[in-house]
Structure 1
Amino acid sequence: MTPQLDMIGLVASDLPRTLAFYRALGLDLPASADAEPHVEVTLPGGLRLAWDTVDVIRSFDPGWAPPTGGHRAALAFRCADAAEVDAVYARMVDAGFAGHLAPWDAVRGQRYAVLHDPDGTAVDLFADAG
C-alpha cells in the first residue's frame, strides 16, 4: 500500500481559543471539545484535521518545543467567491482573531487573504476571482 495523507495535526497552546477560531471559520466542532486534550474533525473528502494540547505532545515526546524561525505550513480554505473572502476575513478580524494580510487580488486570478490562528499557523482564504 502507498501511504496516503489522512490527517493534518496541529499543536494548540490554548485549545479552546484555537477551536473558537476554527468554529468561526465554519468547522463543526462541539463546545464539549474545548475540555478535551485531542480533538479531530473529518472534513469533506475524508481528510481529518486534528489538534492536540502541548501536554499531549509532550506525553510521548518530552523534549518537544514549538518550532521557531517562521512558518513552514499553512492551511487554505476555499471560499465561494471574492466577496466571501472579504467578508470572512472581516468577520474573523472583528471577532478578535489575527489578520495577517488583508484581502487582495492575487496572481492567477484569485482573491486571497491570510489570517493567523491563535498559535500563529497561517490560514489562507481564497476564491477564484471570476
Structure 2
Amino acid sequence: MPLDLYMVGLLPRDMEKSLAFYRQLGLELPADSEGRPHVQVQMKGDITFFLNSMIPLDRQHAQGVVLEFYVRDRAIVEAKYAELTGLGYHSYQAPNFSETINAYFAMINDPDGNIVMLTAD
C-alpha cells in the first residue's frame, strides 16, 4: 500500500492564540486566517501544516495532533481502518466523505493518542 505523509495538523483549544503563536514562530499563515476554523500553509516539500478547530477533540483519547496520510483509494481507507480497529486501536472517526474537506477519510488514534487520518479522493 502506498502511504504518503500529506499533512501535519494541530487541533488547537484556542485558534486565535495558536495563529498568533505560529505567526510569531515564523509561519506565513494567510492574512485572512482570523475567524476561520481551518487554516493551512504549504511547507517546503510536499507537507502541509494546518490548524483546525472543526474536528471535535475527545481529550480522553486524543492529544490534538493529526498526521494525515493520503492513500489515494477509498478501499484502502476502509481496509486499513478495519484492520487497525480490528486489532484494538481506538476509532476516532469511521470512514466517510466530508464535503467540507472534499475527501473520503477515517481517523484512528495511535498508541500515544495522536490522530492518524487516512484520506482518499
TM (norm. structure 2) is: 0.46
**Structure 1 or 2: more helix by fraction:** 1
Bigger radius of gyration, 1 or 2?
A: 1
Q: TM-score, normalised by structure 1?
A: 0.43
